[in-house]
Structure formats: structure tokens, C-alpha cells
């Protein structure tokens, strides 16, 4: 949680899109009274490129940062060629999904996840500041508004982790710094696809139109559904129609996982272990498979030929021939492999498709479900926009079009879907109020005491404090799951200490999927964290220690602040999550 403030004194916005598979940044100056935003997107490893770089980071054996992105891959290969070692990390953003403490390198060693992500953000932010200084001269860091993209599926704990990583990276000074804004990835894309739409499409995006953004990345597939509240010529404004959803393990990196499951079966245990130990060979094979994956589409007359020479002498021509024969003897003909030359395999269309299908079934099933929910609300979906690196897969595009496109529903893709999110993050930074309301995913409340009422409270919840009977463990809800909450909507609660000599008030926050939880120890209610507030000296009266807590749930993450009885903000107020 952060102190409830906003700052408009910035001169530039720098948006960082830290992705599972690729990362980049964008810069835009503060918008003047009129005119179109000027957004530039950069590759952190090559500022002449306006795409993203691979998300990979390299440390030496003493855990010192060496390189990031494509430079990390190149330097790692050189280190291994010199028969030395280093720690290369890829797809480490997925460790954050499970709030893991450590991430695992390509060679099986571990480092703290916070260090790895903080160094990633430090590298990208320093590159961005250097690029901005080249453009405008001296940069006043306090005049930069930073926007960091995060999956909409992430919880408050994940978002707090990223804010802390930004502190570690030196981007902001403290967790409550107003110079950092979090942008939900599909929301950024939703803003940019309208802003960047061809004129013919934009004219169809009138007020009341409902659109879905399918943000298909390396790790997650994030889905958001917005209803436009603006006409084509007006400034972007929308409301969330359904809570953002999707799948945390539906992205393109899981195609690689299914591919490596095939390799494990094909190679056998001994050769597969050798393949995993051969770090450079494995990276080269996965890089080659990435090329095949990007262009694969069933029915297109283009063969998927996999080069296995990277494994080296562990896989000679004779061994490959034997493996192909053995594999084909135990699989249907449509999965039959063909050996090409001395070290290549031709992967049949059915086999290639099987690496994608589990993910596609999840995505299509979720879209079907959301379409029904939109109709239940009396609305009709008009557009599905495909964004993110995975959306460039011709196979994914054809599957979504085949299942969902009709005369009333268009499936569209912006010209540069991989940078839609980071461009939209800049636009969101320019106008954080462009998403007017969001749907609460959970019921949020606190654990409190209330005066005991024998008519409605169970006897087991009765406690007596300083001669007065209270009911304990009461779930006092601020907002309920499914509620539409305005982005600027404030929720206020006033709390008094129950003991006169209290100097610290601990307000414990809980969440639940249910709208009707009464007590915090009910099934399905989970502790989110606690707000610790310094409420004064022991000799002050209970009335003087009254605290007003203000929260805002309609933004991209929960904002909170506490004030004294006289309305002054309590500075010594900290929110801690259970996993922090």
C-alpha cells in the first residue's frame, strides 16, 4: 500500500515493461494543452531498435551483475567458450508468481529473486535516463514519473514486491513515493490500441462499445474487458465491465516447456540430462525452436525443421537415426518424425500443434466464459484485440479468429502488438484517470472488534476488555467482490484503540472471494497483511488516539493513508504483507 497522493509536477514519463520473455522501455514528455502524445519505444540493449530485448540477466560467480538482455546471452556463450562459469537467468519473472525467494540459473544455481529483478530494473532505468539525457540535457530525476507494467492477475503482494524492487533499484526513494505508478498490462494495451488504431477502426469505437484485450505474453495471458465512455474524437475514457482475468501459466514460454517434454521423451533420460548440462547447446536449440514456433501454423506449407547439431558429439548421426526409429515405433503416424541430413529433425504439424494446444484450449475456454458474462450484463462484445509477443503467433491468431470472429465481433491486432503495453503505459501515466472504474476481484476488509450483541453474535466470539463486552474477529468490509469501484472513490473508516495505554494500532487486512463473510476465521478468508500506525503517547485519551483510515481500491493497486483526529497525516504508518 502507498500513501494516498498524486503528483503532476513531472516533465517526462518513463515506462518500463519488464516481461517474462522480453523487456523494453518508452519515453514521452508531459502532454501539453493540445497535441498528440509523442512516445518513443527503445530496446535497452540497442537504442536504435524500437522493439524489446530478451529478458535475460547475467551475474558472475560472486553474484555481481555483468549484462542484461541479448548482451547477457552473448557474453554467457563467450564465458562458456573460455571454459569459465557464470549465472544466467531467464524466465525469472515466473518465480514471482509463486512468491519464490530465489530464482534458478541455467546451470542450477540460485540467487535471491529480489536482487535479480532489482538489477533488471536498475539496468533498464539507467539506460532510459541516459537516453533521455541525450535528448534533453540535464535530467532532474525527481521530475520523472515512472510507470511500471504488471500483470492484471497479480495480487497486492506481487505489486508490493515490484515497488520494493524499484526502491532497491534506485528508481524511487521509498515504497510510498508518488513518482511511481503501476500500470496493469492489459489496461495499458487497451488504451494504446484505441490511440493507435487505424482511422476506420477508431471510428467504430464509439461510446458504449465493448472491447476485450487479450494480452498474450511469455508467462501470462491477461484479459480485460472495457466499455468505452468516449466518442472516437474524444480523449480516451472507459470503465471495466468485468474483473480482469486470464491465466498465469498460459504464455508462450509454456510452449517451450511442452517442447522440452517431447525432447525428454525423444532423447531418453541419459541424453536429456546431457542436453540440460550443455547450457550453450540448450540455449541454441531453444533459440532455433523459437524461430519455428513464431512462424508455425497448421495448413501452411512450411516445414518445421529442428537443428540438433548444437548438442555436439553426444548425438551422432547413427544415434539420431536410432532415436527416430524408436520414437516412431511407439507413436501414431501423424506424429512420425523424419530425419533430415545428419543432425536435423522434421517435426510433423500434429506434433508441433500439440505444444500449443493445451494453452490454446485454456485461452479459448476463458474467452467463451467471458463472452457469456458480457451477454449476461446485457452488453455485446464488439472487438477482441490481440496484443503481446505471443499474439504474433499465426497459429494463435488463426485459432482465435476461427473460434470467435463473426459479423458482429472483429478480431484485430495493432501494427506492433509487442509494444502495445509499454506505449499504453506511457498514455496511462499521462492520464491515470482514463480508466474511470474497476471491478473488485475480492472482498477487502479488516479484523475488528465491535460491541457484543447477543442477538446476532455467537457466544464464542465474546471477549471482555476493561469491563466492556466485545465481539472479536469481525470481518468489517470496505468493498465487496464484484462491486464497481470508481478510480477516485475513497473509503473511510474510523478506529479507536480498545485499551487506553495503547501506543500502536495494528489494523489487520483480510480478503475473500465471498461477498458475505462475517468473521475473519471463516473458510475462504485470508489474511492480506497489516497496517501498523503510531497513535501517540500512553497518557493520551482514547478519543485523542482516534484514527481515520482512508483507502482507495479502484486504482491499479490499493492506496492507503491514516490521519489523526485533527486531520493531520500520520507519517509513521506502514503496511506489511504476509509474504513481504
Phi-psi map region of 494: left, alpha, beta (phi>0 left; psi -120 to 50 alpha)? beta
Does residue 205 carry a pLDDT above 90? yes
| Residue 148 vs residues 17, 81, 218, 275: alpha-carbon distances, Å | 6, 36, 17, 36
Alpha-carbon distance of 239 to 421, in angstroms, equals: 18
25-36 per-position pLDDT tens digit: 999 998 765 668
Alpha-carbon distance of 390 to 546, in angstroms, equals: 52
User: Which of 304, 185, 320, 303 is closest to 266 using CA atoms?
Assistant: 320
Does residue 502 carry a pLDDT above 60? yes
The phi, psi pair for 579, rounded to 5°, reads -95, 0
Q: Which of 275-289, 382-396, 489-503, 560-574 has the lowest mean pLDDT?
A: 560-574
CB atoms within 10 A of CB 30: 15
H-only helix segments in 296-346 = 317-329
Which DSSP helix (H) or strand (E) runs through 124? helix 113-136
pLDDT bucket at 122, cuts 50 / 70 / 90: very high
User: Which of 528, 434, 435, 431 is closest to 479 using CA atoms?
Assistant: 528
pLDDT bucket at 576, cuts 50 / 70 / 90: low
Does residue 284 carry a pLDDT above 80? yes
Residues linked to residue 14 through DSSP beta bridges, in sequence order: 27, 146
- Here the cell at position 443 is 472482498
Dihedral sign from CA coordinates of 354, 356, 360, 361: positive
Does residue 58 carry a pLDDT above 50? yes
* pLDDT score at 4: 43
pLDDT bucket at 580, cuts 50 / 70 / 90: very low
CB atoms within 10 A of CB 85: 15
> Which residues are CB-neighbours of 432 under 8 A, at least 6 positions away?
6, 181, 487, 555
Instruction: Calculate mean pLDDT across residues 170-180.
Output: 89
Alpha-carbon distance of 245 to 212, in angstroms, equals: 11
* pLDDT score at 360: 96
User: Which of 533, 481, 42 is closest to 243 using CA atoms?
Assistant: 481
Q: Which of 91-95, 157-161, 176-180 has the lowest mean pLDDT?
A: 176-180
In the chain, what percentage of residues exceed pLDDT 70? 93
pLDDT bucket at 3, cuts 50 / 70 / 90: very low
What 3-state class would DSSP assign to 6?
coil
Over the chain, what is the mean pLDDT? 89
Looking at per-residue pLDDT, the higher value among 27 and 174 belongs to 27
Does residue 517 carry a pLDDT above 70? yes
* pLDDT score at 365: 96
Amino acid at each position: 500500500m502507498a500513501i494516498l497522493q498524486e503528483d503532476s509536477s513531472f516533465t517526462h514519463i518513463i515506462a518500463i515493461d519488464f516481461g517474462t520473455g522480453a523487456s523494453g522501455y518508452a519515453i514521452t514528455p508531459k502532454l501539453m494543452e493540445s497535441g498528440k502524445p509523442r512516445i518513443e519505444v527503445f530496446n535497452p540493449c540497442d537504442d536504435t531498435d524500437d522493439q524489446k530485448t530478451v529478458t535475460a540477466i547475467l551475474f558472475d560467480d560472486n553474484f555481481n551483475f555483468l549484462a542484461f538482455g541479448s548482451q547477457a546471452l552473448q557474453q554467457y556463450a563467450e564465458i562458456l567458450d573460455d571454459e569459465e562459469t557464470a549465472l544466467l537467468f531467464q524466465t525469472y519473472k515466473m518465480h514471482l508468481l509463486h512468491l519464490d525467494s530465489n530464482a534458478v540459473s541455467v546451470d542450477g544455481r540460485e540467487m535471491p529473486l529480489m536482487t535479480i529483478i532489482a538489477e533488471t530494473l536498475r539496468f533498464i532505468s539507467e539506460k532510459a535516463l541516459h537516453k533521455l539525457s541525450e535528448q534533453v540535457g540535464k535530467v532532474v530525476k525527481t521530475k520523472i514519473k515512472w510507470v511500471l507494467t504488471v500483470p492484471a492477475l497479480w495480487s497486492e503482494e506481487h505489486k508490493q514486491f515490484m515497488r520494493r524492487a524499484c526502491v532497491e533499484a534506485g528508481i524511487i526513494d521509498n515504497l510510498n513515493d508518488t513518482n511511481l505508478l503501476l500500470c496493469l498490462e492489459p489496461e495499458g494495451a487497451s488504451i494504446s490500441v484505441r490511440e493507435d488504431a487505424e482511422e476506420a477502426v477508431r471510428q467504430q469505437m464509439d461510446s458504449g462499445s465493448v472491447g476485450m484485450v487479450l494480452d498474450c505474453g511469455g508467462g501470462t495471458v491477461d484479459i480485460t474487458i472495457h466499455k468505452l465512455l468516449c466518442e472516437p474524437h474524444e480523449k480516451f475514457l472507459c470503465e471495466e465491465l468485468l474483473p480482469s482475468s486470464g491465466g498465469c501459466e498460459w504464455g508462450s514460454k509454456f510452449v517451450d516447456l511442452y517442447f522440452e517434454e517431447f525432447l525428454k521423451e525423444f532423447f531418453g533420460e541419459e541424453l536429456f540430462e546431457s542436453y540440460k548440462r550443455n547450457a550453450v547447446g540448450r540455449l541454441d536449440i531453444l533459440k532455433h525452436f523459437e524461430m519455428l514456433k513464431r512462424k508455425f501454423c497448421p495448413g501452411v506449407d512450411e516445414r518445421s525443421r529442428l537443428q540438433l547439431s548444437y548438442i555436439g558429439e553426444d548425438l551422432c548421426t547413427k544415434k539420431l537415426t536410432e532415436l527416430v526409429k524408436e520414437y516412431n515405433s511407439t507413436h501414431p503416424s501423424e506424429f512420425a518424425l523424419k530425419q533430415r541430413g545428419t543432425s536435423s529433425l522434421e517435426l510433423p504439424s500434429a506434433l508441433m500443434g500439440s505444444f500449443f494446444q493445451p494453452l490454446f484450449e485454456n485461452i479459448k475456454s476463458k474467452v467463451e466464459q467471458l463472452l457469456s458474462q458480457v451477454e449476461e450484463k446485457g452488453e455485446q462484445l464488439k472487438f477482441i484485440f490481440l496484443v503481446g509477443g505471443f499474439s504474433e503467433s499465426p497459429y494463435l491468431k488463426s485459432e482465435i479468429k476461427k473460434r470467435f470472429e463473426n459479423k458482429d465481433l472483429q478480431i484485430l491486432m495493432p501494427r506492433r502488438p509487442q509494444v502495445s503495453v509499454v506505449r499504453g503505459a506511457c498514455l496511462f501515466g499521462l492520464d491515470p484517470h482514463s480508466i474511470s472504474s474497476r471491478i473488485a476481484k475480492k472482498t477487502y476488509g479488516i479484523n475488528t472488534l465491535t460491541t457484543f450483541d447477543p442477538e446476532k453474535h455467537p457466544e464464542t466470539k465474546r471477549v471482555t476488555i476493561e469491563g466492556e463486552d466485545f465481539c472479536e474477529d469481525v470481518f468489517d468490509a470496505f468493498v465487496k467482490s464484484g462491486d464497481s469501484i470508481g478510480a477516485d472513490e475513497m473509503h473511510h473508516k474510523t478506529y479507536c484503540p480498545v485499551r487506553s495505554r495503547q501506543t500502536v494500532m495494528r489494523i489487520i487486512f483480510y480478503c475473500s472471494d465471498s461477498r458475505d463473510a462475517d468473521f475473519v476465521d471463516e473458510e475462504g478468508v485470508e489474511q492480506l497483511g497489516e497496517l501498523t500506525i503510531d497513535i501517540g503517547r500512553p497518557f493520551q485519551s482514547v478519543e485523542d488516539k482516534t484514527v481515520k483510515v482512508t483507502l482507495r481500491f479502484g486504482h491499479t493497486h490499493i492506496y492507503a493513508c491514516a490521519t489523526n483526529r485533527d486531520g493531520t497525516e500520520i507519517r509513521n504508518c506502514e503496511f506489511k504483507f504476509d509474504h513481504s
